[in-house]
Amino acid sequence: MFMIKQPEWRARNVNKYFYESEARKIAGLNEIFGEVGLTADEERILIGLAGWDEYTIENVLSAIRKAMAVEAKRLEASGRTQWQLLMDGTAVKSAFALLSTKVIKLCAVSGTDYP
């Protein structure tokens, strides 16, 4: 099983409360991405996303779950089962590709660096 790994607390300049909040958000991301083999860049972006506010993370996770449900219906109609979808991570990777494109574009427009 693959999991997003939170960087060590002491390796970064963050306080205890940020670190605990980030851990909760990473756990939420792992509910979706825990079975998906991520590249180092994908994991880095998700860890950076975990530093955002709770409201943003909840909405990102909601959007990904919706994309997964739509993909499951599409694949079910084509004869593939939802189990196959979850095991190969197709919908998750598609949703993540869309999300990372939007995050990069948003950061480019706002003039900030993405994590």
Domain of residue 106 covers 9-110
Q: How far apart are CA 51 and CA 74, in angstroms?
A: 33
On whether residue 86 sits in a domain, the answer given is: yes
pLDDT value for 108: 53
Q: Does residue 36 belong to any structural domain of this protein?
A: yes
Give per-residue pLDDT as tens, 61-96.
999 989 988 888 887 777 765 555 555 555 666 666
Q: Please tell me the total count of domains within the chain.
A: 1
What gap in Å lies between CA 40 and CA 66, rounded to an integer?
A: 25
Residue 107 CA to residue 115 CA, distance in Å, equals 10
Asked whether residue 3 is assigned to any structural domain, the reply reads no
Q: How many CB atoms lie within 10 A of CB 91?
A: 23
**Overall pTM surpassing 0.75 (yes/no):** no
